[in-house]
Amino acid sequence: MTRIPSIQPQELKEAIDSGSDVTIVDVRGPHDFDEWHIDGDNVEAVNVPVTQLQAVDPATLLNGASEGEVVAVCASGQTSQMAVQMLQQAGIDAKNLQYGMNGWANLYVHQELETNANATVLQFSRPSSGCLAYMVVSGDEAVVVDPLLAFVDTYIEVARDYGAEITAAVDTHVHADHISGVRAFATRSEADVVVPEPAVARGIDYDVAYETIAHGDEIAVGDSTIDVIHTPGHTSGMTSFLVDDAVLLSGDGLFTESVARPDLEDGDEGAADAAATLYDSLQNRILTLADETIVAPAHYSDSADPADDWSYTATLGDLTAKMAALSMPEDEFVEYITADVPPRPSNHEQIIQTNLGQLDTPNYVAFQLELGPNNCAASQESMTQ
């Protein structure tokens, strides 16, 4: 088994990003595959449970695929080793994904954004779910926005690589798709734990001290300023952060391919009212910013195209020109984004309760709860033209 060729999650991501053809042979059960799997424009994902792979010709199942990377995947990287052996016996040069889907879920990368901000803005990306987080570094101080619990130590290490200490950990809203890491900073660092003031009304019950921020406030980080802009609609507390009048950390209000879904806080019954609120936030608090403002959202979906620097960002002017929803009248907008809302994120109720502090969820359980796509946009298809 030790001689079976393998590929690291980071290497697989690089192959996908390069545009190379990649065939994923996912040997988990159909239910697990349907819940979440590795995908992409140049990825052919084939679900072949290992028991079927033993019974039939693998080359037939793969339609003879042998060009590009062929990668066998299971949950932990164990069962897929047997799949690699069978594929190799069929003449297919396959590799095993090291640590399987658990390894893919642990892949976390970051890069500096190209902006006009005085501060350095880093975008952190989790390819397995499309979750994005940010770090704003100025001088020897840093602020992290929308941190994931699973990677709190990563943020601390990266900040130190930049010669900075994290002074505040901030959430844009109460997340429904991943476990927030803001509270963990209270015990692992000297950082302040910060949440939007309107989110408190949802029942925040933290076991650590926290501060609140409201529309019009400012967060100082080194020589830079982060302006607080309340942009409700996705949730009542949804808040965006404008860094040095140049970069808008838009949370789940505005993505590079869509706008927020409006149903996760008050359900289907409150979706229309939330959509109207979102419309007001977009028109009167986001679209009034300069066209050259870089929009940096909290998520991206499979339908999102990365920017030239491979970040998931876009200028506000480009989004206004490409996304029809941003120029619709209110009644049309509300009807449009409530017409075909995608399935709610898996385990969203338990995740929300955990993020409010109402439910004590062990870390290993939290990791399992947030696996899979985020589904926080109003549509699974791109709204851009």
**Active-site amino acid positions:** 74
**Who contacts 267 (Cβ-Cβ below 8 Å, separation ≥6)?**
none
**Residue of 43, 53, 52, 48 whose CA lies nearest to 23:** 43
Alpha carbon 374 to its chain's center: 6
In the chain, how many H helices and how many E strands? Answer: 13, 18
Q: What single-letter amino acid sits at 147?
A: P
Angle at 350 between CA 349 and CA 352, to 5 degrees: 65
* Cα–Cα distance for residue pair 385/30, rounded to 1 Å: 33
Residue 45 burial (C-beta neighbours within 10 Å; 0-12, 13-18, 19+): middle
**Residue of 136, 207, 149, 142 whose CA lies nearest to 177:** 149
What 3-state class would DSSP assign to 136? strand
User: 128 near 371, Cβ under 8 Å?
Assistant: yes
Give me the long-range contacts of 25-29 (CB less than 8 A, separation at least 24).
25/53, 25/58, 25/62, 25/70, 25/71, 25/72, 25/73, 25/80, 25/83, 25/87, 25/94, 26/73, 26/74, 27/53, 27/72, 27/73, 27/74, 27/79, 27/80, 27/83, 28/73, 28/74, 28/75, 28/101
* Cα–Cα distance for residue pair 357/346, rounded to 1 Å: 19
User: 25 near 45, Cβ under 8 Å?
Assistant: no
